[in-house]
């Protein structure tokens, strides 16, 4: 996706609607609850994470149960810290205090969305990190991560996810795209792997698409709680069947089993903000309505005749 020409205009919901959506996302709601729960007895480690013995209490505060409760609580705390809802008060003692951003959640819609965008950045960074089990397996004798054994390049992984999300945005806002509907996961994966001029994909390319789908399945599961997307995961039965070719063509009735992802209105707002920060021109439907004819002509010239 080139940043040399404007993207198709996106129709955004009002900031008030988007702010309400942001506050209702599971991850930001949990982060805010933990920020309000934290007190003088709350302790964090050198990296700012809640100490292990306090994770059960944090999970209980969030009403979380089950084997993943502590992990979800740790994730919510990390979002609270990174988005400024809580701050480190004393690094040596591991104490925290309420962050300035917590008050923004009861402020203007724009202030709420500022906090949500910070939370989104944290989750996007997490989504580009390999599974924890893989990280543990990659620890060398000195306790350092052997990135070579992981076959993981943090920069290229982040660029890959950015590319996928950029394509999802483009498919959502384009006239001939998915619009408000979901996009099949195989199509998104293929958009990053299969060359435009390739006719019939080779077996090697299909294998790359299949691998990309598995990565994206994990990543979209991570991104859904922050409200960026609505996601229907890949059918577990397909992943359990080692002989199933995930990248193979499927009947339309079965395509949903291979994963379906839809960009939410809040997600469209978030991705547009990130695209603009990256240098893309991402207009909004109606933003030229109150401008003069000269501005209107300049703003629409790049799209050409319909």
DSSP state of 100: T
CA distance 187 to 209: 9
3-class SS string, 51-78: CHHHHHHHHHHCCCCCCCHHHHHHHHHH
Nearest in space to 279 (alpha carbons), one of 1, 9, 8: 1
Predicted local confidence at residue 74, as pLDDT: 97
Strand 95-98 with 86-90, pairing? antiparallel
Helical residues (DSSP H) of the chain, grouped into ranges: 15-24, 26-37, 55-61, 69-82, 101-104, 109-127, 132-137, 147-150, 154-173, 185-193, 203-223, 236-240, 265-277, 293-300
Strand 229-232 with 183-184, pairing? unpaired
CA distance 165 to 172: 10
CA distance 176 to 203: 29
CA distance 85 to 32: 7
Predicted local confidence at residue 46, as pLDDT: 93
Using CB atoms within 10 A of its CB, is residue 247 exposed (0-12), middle (13-18) or buried (19+)? buried
CA distance 267 to 227: 7
Using CB atoms within 10 A of its CB, is residue 244 exposed (0-12), middle (13-18) or buried (19+)? middle
pLDDT digits (tens), the chain, 306 positions:
555 578 999 999 999 999 999 999 999 999 999 999 999 999 999 999 999 999 999 999 999 999 999 999 999 999 999 999 999 999 999 999 999 999 999 999 999 999 999 999 999 999 988 655 544 454 555 555 555 555 667 788 889 999 999 999 999 998 776 678 899 999 999 989 887 777 777 888 888 888 899 899 999 999 999 999 999 998 877 666 544 445 444 454 577 788 999 999 999 999 999 999 999 999 998 775 455 545 444 544 444 444
CA distance 60 to 4: 50
Q: Yes or no: say if 99 and 85 are a contact pair by the CB < 8 Å rule.
A: yes
Predicted local confidence at residue 276, as pLDDT: 95
Using CB atoms within 10 A of its CB, is residue 203 exposed (0-12), middle (13-18) or buried (19+)? exposed
Structure token digits, residue 86: 């809580």
β-partners of residue 229 are 263
Q: How far is CA 301 from the centre of its chain?
A: 32
CA distance 260 to 183: 6
Q: Tell me the residue length of the chain.
A: 306
Nearest in space to 78 (alpha carbons), one of 131, 124, 110: 124
């Amino acid at each position: 996706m080139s940043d040399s020409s404007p993207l198709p205009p996106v129709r955004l919901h009002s900031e008030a609607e988007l702010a309400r959506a942001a506050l209702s996302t599971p991850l930001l709601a949990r982060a805010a609850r933990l920020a309000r729960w934290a007190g003088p007895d709350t302790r964090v480690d050198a990296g700012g994470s809640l100490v292990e013995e306090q994770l059960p209490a944090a999970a209980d505060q969030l009403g979380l149960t089950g084997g993943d409760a502590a992990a979800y609580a740790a994730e919510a705390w990390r979002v609270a810290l990174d988005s400024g809802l809580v701050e480190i008060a004393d690094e040596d003692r591991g104490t925290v205090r309420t962050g300035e951003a917590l008050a923004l959640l009861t402020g203007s819609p724009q202030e709420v969305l500022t906090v949500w965008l910070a939370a989104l950045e944290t989750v996007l960074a997490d989504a580009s990190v390999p599974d924890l089990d893989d990280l543990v397996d990659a620890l060398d004798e000195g306790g350092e991560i052997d990135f070579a054994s992981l076959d993981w390049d943090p920069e290229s992984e982040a660029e890959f996810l950015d590319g996928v999300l950029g394509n999802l945005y483009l498919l959502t806002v384009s006239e001939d795209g998915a619009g408000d509907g979901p996009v099949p996961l195989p199509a998104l994966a293929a958009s990053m792997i299969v060359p435009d001029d390739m006719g019939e994909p080779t077996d090697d390319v299909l294998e790359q698409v299949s691998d990309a789908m598995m990565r994206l399945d994990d990543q979209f599961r991570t991104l859904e709680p922050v409200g960026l997307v609505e996601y229907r995961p890949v059918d577990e039965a397909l992943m359990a069947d080692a002989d199933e070719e995930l990248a193979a063509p499927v009947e339309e009735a079965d395509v949903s089993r291979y994963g379906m992802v839809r960009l939410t209105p809040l997600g469209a707002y978030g991705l547009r903000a990130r695209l603009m920060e990256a240098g893309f021109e991402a207009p909004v439907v109606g933003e030229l309505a109150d401008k003069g004819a000269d501005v209107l002509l300049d703003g629409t010239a790049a799209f050409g005749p319909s």
